[in-house]
Amino acid sequence: MASFSKMKKGFLFLQMVVFSACYGQNSAQRTVEFYAQNILPTKNGIVVRYDGRIEKADSSYNELAHLILVEFYRCKADPRGDNNDDLKIDSDEWVELSMTIRKEVFISRPMFEGRLISPPNIKSRKNLKYKDLKGGFVRYYPKNLFHRVFPVKFNLTVEPIVSYNGSDYVWLKVSKNDLEYGSWYFFELNEQTVLDWCEIGWIQ
The 10s digit of each residue's pLDDT in 103-116 is: 999 998 888 889 99
Q: What angle do CA 50, 133, 78 make, to 5 degrees?
A: 70
> How far is it between the farthest Cα atoms of the chain?
80
pLDDT at 84: 66
Please name the residues in contact with 2: beta carbons below 8 A apart, sequence gap of 6 or more.
none
Q: What percent of the chain has pLDDT over 70?
A: 78
Higher pLDDT, 168 or 83: 168
CA dist., res. 123 & res. 5, Å (int): 48
**Is the model's pTM score more than 0.75?**
yes
User: How many angstroms separate the Cα of 6 from the Cα of each of 12, 14, 19, 47?
Assistant: 10, 12, 20, 52
For the cut 80, the answer to whether the pLDDT of residue 118 exceeds it is yes
Radius of gyration of the chain (CA): 20
Amino acid found at 131: K
Instruction: Tell whether the model's pLDDT for residue 36 goes beyond 80.
Output: yes
Give the residue, 8 or 180, on which the prediction is more confident: 180
Task: List, in order, residues 6 or more apart from 31 with CB less than 8 Å away.
Answer: 158, 170, 172, 187, 189, 194
Q: What is the mean pLDDT of residues 132-159?
A: 69
Question: How far is it, in rounded angstroms, from Cα 57 to Cα 99?
Answer: 23
Residue-wise pLDDT tens digits, 17-33: 333 346 678 999 999 99
The confidence band for 149, taking pLDDT boundaries of 50, 70 and 90, is low
Tens digit of each residue's pLDDT (9 = 90 or more) over 68-104: 999 999 888 887 766 666 677 888 888 999 999 999 9
Q: Which of 8-17, 69-78, 160-169 has the least mean pLDDT?
A: 8-17
CA dist 128 and 122 (Å) reads 13
pLDDT at residue 2 above 50? Answer: no
pLDDT at site 18: 38
pLDDT band at 37 (very low <50, low <70, confident <90, very high): very high
Q: Name which of 76-80, 88-92, 132-136, 158-162 the model is least confident about.
A: 132-136
DSSP code of 113? -
